A and B are shown apart, each in its own frame.
Chain A
Amino acid sequence: MITKRIIPCLDVKDGRVVKGVNFQGLSDVSSPIELGKYYSDCGADELVFYDITASAEGRALFTDILKEVAKTIFIPLTVGGGINTLEDFDRVLKCGADKVSVNSGAIRNPALVREAAKKYGDQCVVLSADVKRVDGVYRVFAKGGRENTGMEAIKWIKDCVAGGAGEVVLNSIDTDGVKGGFDLQMLDAVCNAVNVPVIASGGAGCAEDFVKLFKELPKVDAGLAASIFHFGEVKITDLKQLLKQNDINVRL
């Protein structure tokens, strides 16, 4: 059967990995190429590169880096950040990305998901949704989680999947950064609403959080995290062993 995926996420600004990386044994911890290779060698099932650059120069640098990454790492690569148009899809796919993640771009232009899916296939379009509870209702947030769009999240996600999003990354703003575990309740609601792979994001604080995620919600396909991997708090090799010991099917 298909395995559960473990996905480290790397934020890249001006060609460098940001958000403090703390590794021994890497000569350049903020090189996306070195860090990506390290994760790939440790058994990461996929890598997400998030471009948080604002400038055009930074953006060009990002695609150069992406090309280098795709030349050395042979696992699926997902790219997000600043994806607003079909040209943006084209730009990153040409550099070796396999999937493209859209967030604010889809909020600004709801036709983007449909157009991209039509041109590049559903499997290529990943909807990334930042969701937060407001007065007991799941709401979609834009601009990196700073702005409440007022849209009800489950309907928004369902509409995007109907439009052709082939995967959903659900980032719970409520649990993000808290390190108290994934937002199982929110994930359950999304898993029950769509029939495409759902990737859990936001809240992982330790390896056991991944065990709990896949045990309690077998419908979730993958777990994504950044800082716990970057700071070496959780080693992907160890995490996968732990999952296997708990009868969760992983690629070792």
Chain B
Amino acid sequence: MVGIIDYGVGNLFSLRSSFDAIGESAFVSGDPEQLQKADRLILPGVGAFGDAAAKLRENGLDQFVVAQVEAGKPLMGICLGMQMLFEKSYEYGEHQGLGLLKGTVVGMDGRLPAELKIPHIGWNALKFQQRDCPLFKGIQEGDHVYFVHSFYAEGCEDALAATTAYGKELTAAVAKGNLFGCQFHPEKSGRVGLEILKAFCAVGGAQ
């Protein structure tokens, strides 16, 4: 059973449906008591880092997420949800993340060649940085996934699982133990995205 963490940021309809499509039962909840019962968790997110992090804290879900990950439950952050796993973000100011992974989130503006459009919107190819990452079991290097973002994580050290080329190699996926993250949207990445969600659902962990 997959628990999708709802903290009032963005629309979870497609994400929820994508688990139905791969035959995994999933539920959406903002209640730690309910989420506690899930075998694995998804931390979604769209919008601005500062607002989202504040909302997560408001509901006490920040501590819940950290505790669950430390207890060994598999968790995957998606898009902004992935960015929040890091220590800090410099999106319009400086914001604290959950600090579960080493690294910071920085803006593309000024760091990429000027001719590139920001946000990075569209389908881009994955370059594996961890060949044996469990998320990539059903896919191949070079497969395309759908991105929409203006900020990216850097300094991820050994958690860096895949990158994508946009002016430079940007962090596309991270993995460390039971903790995973995708900068792209697996729920909008066609067959490849569904394979990644399937692979996440096959990852073992505390039951």
Interface size on B, as a range, is 20 to 34
Q: Residue of B at shortest CB range from A40?
A: B190
If A3-B144, A93-B11 touch, whether A75 touches B119 (CB-CB below 8 Å) is no
B165 at the interface (CB under 8 A from A): yes
Whether A2 lies near B187 (C-beta < 8 A) is: no
Q: Which residues of A contact B146 (CB under 8 A)?
A: 75-76
Residue in A72, A195, A251 whose CB lies within 8 Å of B117: A195
Whether A197 lies near B121 (C-beta < 8 A) is: yes
Q: Which residues of A contact B188 (CB under 8 A)?
A: 74-76, 98
Whether A74 lies near B123 (C-beta < 8 A) is: no
A45 at the interface (CB under 8 A from B): yes
- Most-contacted residue by chain A among B20, B46, B146 (CB, 10 A): B146
A122 at the interface (CB under 8 A from B): yes
Whether B165 lies near A74 (C-beta < 8 A) is: no
A207 at the interface (CB under 8 A from B): no
Whether B117 lies near A196 (C-beta < 8 A) is: yes
A5 at the interface (CB under 8 A from B): yes
Residue in A3, A121, A195 whose CB lies within 8 Å of B122: A3
Interchain nearest-CB distance for B36 vs A (Å): 27
Q: Residue of A at shortest CB range from B48?
A: A121
Contacting residues of chain A (187-238) with chain B, CB-CB under 8 angstroms? 195-197, 221-222
Q: Which residues of A contact B14 (CB under 8 A)?
A: 70, 74, 96, 98
Interface string of B158-196 (1 = CB under 8 A from A): 000000011000000000000000000001111001100
Whether B119 lies near A71 (C-beta < 8 A) is: no
B18 at the interface (CB under 8 A from A): yes
Residue in A5, A93, A98, A123 whose CB lies within 8 Å of B123: A5
Residue in A67, A93, A166, A251 whose CB lies within 8 Å of B121: A166
In the assembled complex, the Cα of A81 lies from the Cα of B94 at a distance in Å of 39
Whether A71 lies near B47 (C-beta < 8 A) is: no
- Most-contacted residue by chain A among B121, B125, B147, B166 (CB, 10 A): B121
- Most-contacted residue by chain B among A2, A40, A45 (CB, 10 A): A2
B130 at the interface (CB under 8 A from A): no
Whether B17 lies near A96 (C-beta < 8 A) is: yes
Contacting residues of chain B (1-45) with chain A, CB-CB under 8 angstroms? 11, 13-14, 17-18, 20-21
B129 at the interface (CB under 8 A from A): no
B124 at the interface (CB under 8 A from A): yes
Whether B123 lies near A251 (C-beta < 8 A) is: yes
If A74-B21, A75-B190 touch, whether A122 touches B119 (CB-CB below 8 Å) is yes
Interchain nearest-CB distance for B16 vs A (Å): 9
Whether A71 lies near B190 (C-beta < 8 A) is: no
Contacting residues of chain A (76-103) with chain B, CB-CB under 8 angstroms? 76, 93-96, 98
Contacting residues of chain B (56-71) with chain A, CB-CB under 8 angstroms? none
Q: Which residues of A contact B148 (CB under 8 A)?
A: 123
B55 at the interface (CB under 8 A from A): no
Q: Residue of B at shortest CB range from A45?
A: B123
Q: Residue of A at shortest CB range from B197?
A: A74
In the assembled complex, the Cα of A167 lies from the Cα of B21 at a distance in Å of 29
- What are 23 sample pairs from A and B whose C-beta atoms fall under 8 A apart? A1-B124, A1-B165, A1-B166, A2-B147, A3-B122, A3-B123, A3-B125, A5-B122, A70-B17, A71-B20, A74-B187, A74-B194, A75-B146, A75-B188, A76-B146, A76-B188, A94-B13, A166-B121, A167-B121, A196-B117, A197-B121, A251-B123, A251-B144
The 9 closest A-B pairs by CB, nearest first: A251-B144, A71-B17, A251-B123, A2-B122, A96-B13, A3-B123, A123-B148, A2-B124, A96-B14
In the complex, besides A96-B14, A98-B14, A195-B118, 4 extra interface pairs with C-beta distance below 8 angstroms are: A2-B124, A71-B20, A74-B21, A222-B122
Which residues on A are within 8 Å of B, measured CB to CB? 1-3, 5, 40, 45, 67, 70-72, 74-76, 93-96, 98, 121-123, 166-167, 195-197, 221-222, 251
